[in-house]
Amino acid sequence: MASLDVARSRAAFPALSSGYLYADNAGGSQCLTDAATRISDYLLNTNVQLGADYSVSVASTTRVEDGAEAARELFNAESVDEVAFGSSATMLLANLARAMDGDVHPDEELIVTGEHEANGGPWKHLAERRGATTKLWQATQLSATPNNPYAVGLQLEELLTLITAKTRLVAFTACSNILGSIIPVKDVVIAIRARAAELGARKVEVCVDCVAYAPHRLMDVRGWDVDYAVFSVYKVYGPHASVLYTRRAALTRSLSSLAHHFLAPAVAAKPYKLQPGGPGYEIVWGCTAVPPYLRALGDGNLEEAIARIARHEQTLLAPLLAFLRSKSARGVRIVGAEHEGLDRVPTVSFVVVGERAIRSQDVVARFDAKGNIGIRYGHFYAYTLVSSLSPSLDVEDGVVRISLVHYNTLEEVVKIIEVLEEILA
């Protein structure tokens, strides 16, 4: 079983040569040299409008089409005609919800989670516009850790109690940007569809937020049988862009066009109906650097690359969780599952409570004073989740989050632990 060549992976990121320890990767990863090079090359050599017959426009059009193919590969979508680009997951999902206005009835129900608001807020607004109802699939106490009130997660049995004959959409995260826990998407979707069919729901669609998932695991929108999915390329080692997957059937049957009125017939089954105007063409071309980089980490095989990444990330996660567990008497509480394993990514949140409580902001301030290590505190736009953790928790102070990815090293984890040891002494 081959292991990840971490030195090779790090060499692809100029920022890592500075010696700075980037541990806020859930907020945004570092960018590949090749992605930046492609952006520059596009702007300097093919910066023209798409769709014309002259040679530079043909080259530019091909490059943007290649960007869609890169996203299709990462999603494992059937066609590039199911892929739309945008500046952020929040914007793309807001567009998606707006396009669904005409296909949600006033008496129907939309189920959301308390995770990142990108996949919650747009559906809440849609429910308000249409007179529909929003229900919350809330993270609940994990039975394995009954003594830690912050050890919570999304549990399928809680979701199933929310589904009724009026359910129209279920929107959830594939991985929590606070808890680090991976949701078994395929199993959840099977259960959703079975319960909804049993109860006679008119139409149930599923929208999955993969933003915190895509840097760590393979997406598989076809295998999962989801209708919509979104991820952010800037959290998967590329430029600042996000991508929305929309199943072809949903494009034609559930969504109206946001494009110009005279284009409506031409884009009836195209992602352009959710992407009014063009995306940043140079950014889309820059995104094409991501799949070849990942494949190279697996000797040309994307699935093998992600498997190696997952195994390496467990070597980063295990000592960090072990240290935090060892400080429970000091008041440290891990937020989410306390165990390592392939059902968890190395995004680790915690709080320090009790008689010697330390504000999350103050923990991060100590790291900032130490220098050369970047972590963060707050609610990370998972406002509903963080505000539900404990009545005594200040949602604005939130949690301390340390988020690692495959280019981080065990030596860096040791440095983080050494600083935490000083803070908690």
Q: Check residue 263 and give its pLDDT.
A: 86
The residue-averaged pLDDT of 17-29 equals 97
Q: Check residue 155 and give its pLDDT.
A: 98
Q: Check residue 319 and give its pLDDT.
A: 98
Q: Same domain for 191 and 157?
A: yes
Residue 37 lies in a domain: no
From first CA to last CA, the distance across the chain in angstroms is 40
Q: Same domain for 56 and 11?
A: no
Cβ neighbours of 203 (radius 10 Å): 16
Q: Check residue 168 and give its pLDDT.
A: 98
CA distances from 309 to 74, 218, 243, 315, 413 (A): 15, 11, 22, 10, 16
Longest CA–CA span in the chain (Å) reads: 71
Report residue 1's pLDDT band, with 50, 70 and 90 as the boundaries. Answer: confident
Report residue 73's pLDDT band, with 50, 70 and 90 as the boundaries. Answer: very high
Domain that holds residue 258: 45-292
Q: Check residue 268 and give its pLDDT.
A: 82
The residue-averaged pLDDT of 206-224 equals 98
Residue 36 lies in a domain: no
CA distances from 48 to 67, 240, 264 (A): 16, 20, 24
Structure confidence by residue, pLDDT tens digits, 98-149: 999 999 999 999 999 999 999 999 999 999 999 999 999 999 999 999 999 9
Residue 108 lies in a domain: yes
The per-residue pLDDT of the chain, averaged, comes to 96
Q: Same domain for 187 and 99?
A: yes
Global pTM value: 0.97
* Percent of the residues in the chain that have a pLDDT greater than 70, as a whole number: 100
Q: Same domain for 306 and 284?
A: no
Q: Same domain for 280 and 310?
A: no
Q: Same domain for 305 and 267?
A: no
Q: Check residue 278 and give its pLDDT.
A: 83
Q: Check residue 7 and give its pLDDT.
A: 96
Q: Last residue of a domain, which of 274, 292, 310?
A: 292
Q: Same domain for 113 and 183?
A: yes
Whether the pLDDT of residue 266 is over 90: the answer is no
Q: Same domain for 371 and 310?
A: yes
Whether the pLDDT of residue 393 is over 90: the answer is no
Structure confidence by residue, pLDDT tens digits, 357-392: 999 999 999 999 999 999 999 999 999 999 999 777
The residue-averaged pLDDT of 17-23 equals 97
Tokens matching residue 408? 């981080």
Report the domain count for the chain: 2
CA distances from 148 to 264, 317, 353 (A): 53, 19, 11
Q: Check residue 392 and give its pLDDT.
A: 74
Nearest Cα to 27, choosing from 371, 405, 406, 408? 405
Tokens matching residue 320? 């960090």
The residue-averaged pLDDT of 146-169 equals 97
Residue 40 lies in a domain: no
The residue-averaged pLDDT of 204-232 equals 98
Instruction: List, in sequence order, every residue forming a beta bridge with 398; answer none if it has no partner.
Output: 378
The residue-averaged pLDDT of 304-313 equals 98
Whether the pLDDT of residue 265 is over 90: the answer is no
Whether the pLDDT of residue 402 is over 90: the answer is yes
Nearest Cα to 296, choosing from 346, 245, 237, 242? 237
Question: Long-range contacts for 157-164 (Cβ within 8 Å, ≥24 apart)?
Answer: 159/111, 159/188, 159/191, 159/192, 160/191, 160/195, 162/109, 162/111, 162/135, 162/137, 163/111, 163/192, 163/195, 163/196, 163/199, 163/201, 163/204, 164/109, 164/199, 164/201
Q: Same domain for 310 and 287?
A: no
Q: Same domain for 241 and 194?
A: yes
Report how far residue 195's alpha carbon sits from residue 424's, in angstroms, rounded to the nearest whole number: 47
303: DSSP letter: H
What CATH number has the domain bearing residue 206? 3.40.640.10
* Percent of the residues in the chain that have a pLDDT greater than 90, as a whole number: 94
Q: Check residue 226 and give its pLDDT.
A: 98
Report residue 17's pLDDT band, with 50, 70 and 90 as the boundaries. Answer: very high
Q: Same domain for 288 and 307?
A: no
Q: At what angle do helices 290-297 and 302-326 cross, to 10 degrees?
A: 80
